[in-house]
Amino acid sequence: MSSSRPRVVITGAAGFIGSHLSETLLDRGYTVIGIDNLLTGDLANIAHLVNRDFLFIKHDVTNFIYIDGPVDYVLHWASPASPIDYLELPIQTLKVGALGTHNTLGLAKAKNAKFVIASTSEVYGDPLEHPQQETYWGNVNPVGPRGVYDEAKRFAEAMTMAYHRYHGVDTKIVRIFNTYGPRMRVRDGRAVPAFISQALANEDVTIFGSGHQTRSFCYISDLVDGIIRLMLSSENDPVNIGNPHEMTIEEMARTIIRMTGSSSRVVYRALPTDDPKVRQPDITRARHILGWEPRVQLEEGLTSTIAYFRKKLGV
């Protein structure tokens, strides 16, 4: 290491996952440099880190990134990540996947740092293989509305492996499955925050499609633990990090209504284009290579997430 306290650069540091990564790495003795252009991030997520060994830089990573001094790890987490965001910000999503990945890989190469990229289960598209293993190439519509996110991440993975093979950069690819927890945005279009905010307001809880489509929900602290284990490993091939416990969207909605004590009723709307019908990670590689599997049970994770939303919404 370059010093007694390894230095980590995290892009997207003011986002949901980026802020938890920053906090956990600080807790583990790292120095953290957080970069975010605040397009979808929120300074409130990192306000409690200001008096720690944490430096925030407001910057768009699609532009050249300059960091003074040594860097040991570069974690590229910048990207719109919810359907509402990437459908409203399609070009920014593509640019941060392409130019942002190029710039962060360039930083890692220049600093001889390890590189970790946040990829996604969306690289599998609407999968024809279930559960999804890392060897599955996916079923993605490149010209559909979701293609801007799916293909940005697939391109980012390809560029990451090119830097590994051609330049010898020590790279890691984490394929993140559905994650939830405190600091998610109230109305970011994803199931858990949408259901919680609607339930707390006693509004109709909106399910898109039949509600029989499945997802696998991982609590944020489990995800961050898996990411850091991968960061510290010698693995260079993609690794799924997510909870293999599969449930229907309707089950999640009804669980949240029950846990919030809400009088909401469930209503159904048309399923968006190319929305995946199933999503479940095969975490065999994470178990074997990283010794990782999720520990937080759904109701335990939802309890703290609901408490966060109650405070955020003032209810």
pLDDT of residue 177: 97
> Has residue 264 been placed in a domain?
no
Q: For the segment 147-175, what is each residue's pLDDT rounded down to a tens digit? A: 999 999 999 999 999 999 999 999 999 99
> Has residue 11 been placed in a domain?
yes
Would you call 149 a catalytic residue per the annotation? Answer: yes
Beta carbons of 114 and 10 less than 8 angstroms apart: no
Q: For the segment 256-275, what is each residue's pLDDT rounded down to a tens digit? A: 999 999 999 999 998 877 77
| pLDDT of residue 313 exceeding 50 | yes
> Has residue 42 been placed in a domain?
yes
pLDDT of residue 2: 41
> Has residue 120 been placed in a domain?
yes
CB atoms within 10 A of CB 300: 11
Q: For the segment 6-24, what is each residue's pLDDT rounded down to a tens digit? A: 999 999 999 999 999 999 9
Mean pLDDT of 66-87: 95
> Has residue 285 been placed in a domain?
no
CATH number at residue 63: 3.40.50.720
Site of tokens 């996947």:
97
| pLDDT of residue 1 exceeding 50 | no
Q: For the segment 80-107, what is each residue's pLDDT rounded down to a tens digit? A: 998 889 999 999 999 999 999 999 999 9
| pLDDT of residue 59 exceeding 80 | yes
> Has residue 28 been placed in a domain?
yes
Mean pLDDT of 26-40: 98
| pLDDT of residue 188 exceeding 50 | yes
Q: What is the mean pLDDT of the chain?
A: 95
Mean pLDDT of 122-127: 94
pLDDT of residue 308: 97
The band of 315, judged by pLDDT with boundaries at 50, 70 and 90, is confident
Q: 239 Cβ partners below 8 Å, 6+ apart? A: 134, 172, 173, 174, 175, 226, 230, 285, 286, 289, 290
| pLDDT of residue 64 exceeding 70 | yes
pLDDT of residue 271: 81
> Has residue 300 been placed in a domain?
no
pLDDT of residue 187: 79
pLDDT of residue 277: 86
Total number of domains in the chain: 1
**Domain around 82:** 7-180+218-243
CA distances from 272 to 87, 147, 187, 188, 207 (A): 11, 13, 17, 15, 11
Distance CA 191, CA 234 (A): 34
Helix axes 191-200, 249-260, angle to 10 degrees: 30
pLDDT of residue 3: 53
pLDDT of residue 95: 98
Mean pLDDT of 217-235: 98
Q: Active site residue: 30, 73, 86, 149, which one?
A: 149
- What is the chain's length? 315
> Has residue 305 been placed in a domain?
no
What percentage of the chain exceeds 70 in pLDDT? 99
Question: Rounded to two decimals, what is the model's pTM?
Answer: 0.96
The band of 78, judged by pLDDT with boundaries at 50, 70 and 90, is very high
